Amino acid sequence: MRLSEYFLPLLRENPSEAQIVSHRLMLRAGMIRQSSAGIYSWLPLGLRVLKRVEQIVREEQDRSGALEILMPTIQPAELWRESGRYDDYGKEMLRIKDRHDREMLYGPTNEEQVTDIVRGAIKSYRDLPKNLYHIQWKFRDEVRPRFGVMRGREFLMKDNYSFDVDAAGAKHSYNKMFLAYLRTFARMGLKAIPMRADTGPIGGDLSHEFQILAETGESEVFCDRAWLNTDILAEEVDYDSDLEPFFRHWTSLYAATDEMHKPDTCPIPSEQLVTARGIEVGHIFYFGTKYSVPLGALVAGPDGEMVPLEMGSYGIGVSRLVGTLIEANHDDNGIIWPDSVAPFSLGLINLRVADARCRAAADALYGKLRSAGVTVLYDDRDESPGAKFAAMDLIGLPDQLILGPRGLAAGTIEWKHRRSGARQDLPIDTAVARFVA
C-alpha cells in the first residue's frame, strides 16, 4: 500500500479525552475514530489489526472443532422472556421497537438465540456434542464506557456455545475451550492468566476469566507470584484426548479475580500472593441447564429419556484485544506490533521523493516485496524525513526499510527493527530475500 493513497489520519497531539496509552495511540495512529460515547469507527489501519486478531481467534476455534455461524445483532424480546433475562438484564440492554411495535433488542450476548437454533435442530444425543461460535458486534449500554475500545458500548466479541448430553461431556467441552484460549492468546504474544471467576449475569458455577496483567487493567486480580515467571505456550494438545490433566496443570497455581478472592481462605501465604490489575480478554462459563430447561432444549438420551442440554458459553473480547495488545506493546514513540497481528509486516520509507533515482529504486523494491507476498506500507509521500520516521514509529510496523540517496549510491538500504531499535545497512538486492524468508 502506498501511503500517498492510503487513509491514515495521524494526530500530532495527544487527544485530551484519552486516559490510557492504548486509547491515545489508537487515535493518534489513525486506527479508530469515536462516533459517540463507547462507539467507534474502525479506519483502514485499525481494521487490518482487528481482522488479524479475529483470524487468530477463528483459526483456534476451528482447530478445536467449533463451527462458525453468524447470528443477528438484533434479537426478539420473546426469547429473552423465555429465559427470564429480559427483565434481569436491566439498563445495559438496548431495547428497541420495530414498526409493528414488536419489542426487539440489540444483543449483549447470545445464549437464548443459539439455544433457540439448537432446540429446533438437535433431537438426539447422537448429534452431540456441538460447539457453535460466531464473531459478531454486541451492544451493552455500559454505565461508564471508557478507555477507547477497552470498555466500549458497541464491541466485537467471539462467543461460542457448547451443547452436550451430560455434565462429563460439558466439562470436556469446557476444557477444550480452556485450551483453545491459552493457544489463542499465546499466538498473539500475550500472557493471559486463567483465573477463577464469578459468573455474573451469564450464570453457572464454573468459570474462568483470562486476564492480562497491566497497570491500566480495570479489574483487581490476585495470583501466585510464580505466574510472573511462567510462560504460557501455545501447546499442541490433541483435543480428543483427556484434557483434565492439562486443565489441572494450568489451574494448579492460584489465580482469582476480585469477586472470587477471599483473603481469609486464600490457599497461599501472603508473601506468595501478588495483587495486580488485569485486563479481561476472555471469559468462559459452564452453566449446565440454566437456559436449556426454561427454553425447553431437550434431546433423547441413550436410554430414550428426554434430557435438557448441558451448556457452556465462552467469550473473547476481539476489539478489546486490539487495545490490550497496544497496552502490552508500546514505547514512548508509539506502538510496537507483534508480527502475528501487525497491520503490515514492513514499512518502506523513501527519504527523497523528489530524487528520480531514489524514487525509481524505492518503487522497484516495493514492487518486488509485493510480488513476493510481503505486506508493505510504502511511505512515498513528500514529507520531511523526521515526519516519516515519527509516523512509521508511531504506527509500529515490526520492520522498516529506509532508502535514501546516500545508501542508494553505495547500493545499500537501512533496515530498522522497531522493537529492539537495531539498525543495519543491507545490500539492496538481499533486502527482499530477508523479508520473504
Which chain residues interact with ligand 5CA by CB under 6 A? Answer: 109, 111, 140, 142, 151-152, 155, 157, 159, 202, 280-283, 285, 313-315, 317, 319-320
Report the residue number, 37 or 387, with the smaller CB distance to ligand 5CA.
37
User: Least distance from C-beta 113 to ligand 5CA, angstroms?
Assistant: 11
Report the residue number, 19 or 384, with the smaller CB distance to ligand 5CA.
19
**Which is nearest to 163 in space by CA: 58, 299, 63?**
299
Q: Do the beta carbons of residue 159 and residue 186 sit within 8 Å?
A: no
User: Least distance from C-beta 9 to ligand 5CA, angstroms?
Assistant: 23
Greatest pairwise CA separation for the chain in angstroms: 82
Alpha-carbon torsion, ordered 376, 380, 381, 385, to 10 deg: 90
Distance CA 42, CA 26 (A): 10
User: Least distance from C-beta 322 to ligand 5CA, angstroms?
Assistant: 10
List the grid coordinates of 370: 509485493
Distance CA 277, CA 33 (A): 27
Distance CA 192, CA 276 (A): 13
Report the residue number, 142 or 166, with the smaller CB distance to ligand 5CA.
142
Cα-to-chain-centroid distance, residue 414: 33
Distance CA 257, CA 198 (A): 8
Which long-range contacts does 354-357 make (Cβ < 8 Å, 24+ apart)?
Answer: 354/382, 355/405, 357/405, 357/408
Tell me the residue nearest to ligand 5CA as measured from the CB: 317
Report the residue number, 3 or 186, with the smaller CB distance to ligand 5CA.
186
Cis? peptide before 398, omega within 30° of 0: no
User: Least distance from C-beta 145 to ligand 5CA, angstroms?
Assistant: 7
Report the residue number, 152 or 308, with the smaller CB distance to ligand 5CA.
152
**Which is nearest to 54 in space by CA: 162, 178, 184?**
184
C-alpha distances out from residue 392 to 24, 28, 348, 350, Å: 16, 12, 9, 12
User: Least distance from C-beta 223 to ligand 5CA, angstroms?
Assistant: 17
- What pairs with residue 400 in β-bridges? 347, 416
User: Least distance from C-beta 152 to ligand 5CA, angstroms?
Assistant: 4
User: Least distance from C-beta 15 to ligand 5CA, angstroms?
Assistant: 19
Report the residue number, 197 or 392, with the smaller CB distance to ligand 5CA.
197
User: Least distance from C-beta 157 to ligand 5CA, angstroms?
Assistant: 5
* Residue 59, φ and ψ in degrees, nearest 5: -60, -40
Report the residue number, 116 or 159, with the smaller CB distance to ligand 5CA.
159
Report the residue number, 221 or 365, with the smaller CB distance to ligand 5CA.
221
Report the residue number, 283 or 418, with the smaller CB distance to ligand 5CA.
283
User: Least distance from C-beta 74 to ligand 5CA, angstroms?
Assistant: 17
Report the residue number, 135 or 432, with the smaller CB distance to ligand 5CA.
135
List the grid coordinates of 111: 445464549
User: Least distance from C-beta 123 to ligand 5CA, angstroms?
Assistant: 25
User: Least distance from C-beta 314 to ligand 5CA, angstroms?
Assistant: 5
Report the residue number, 128 or 322, with the smaller CB distance to ligand 5CA.
322
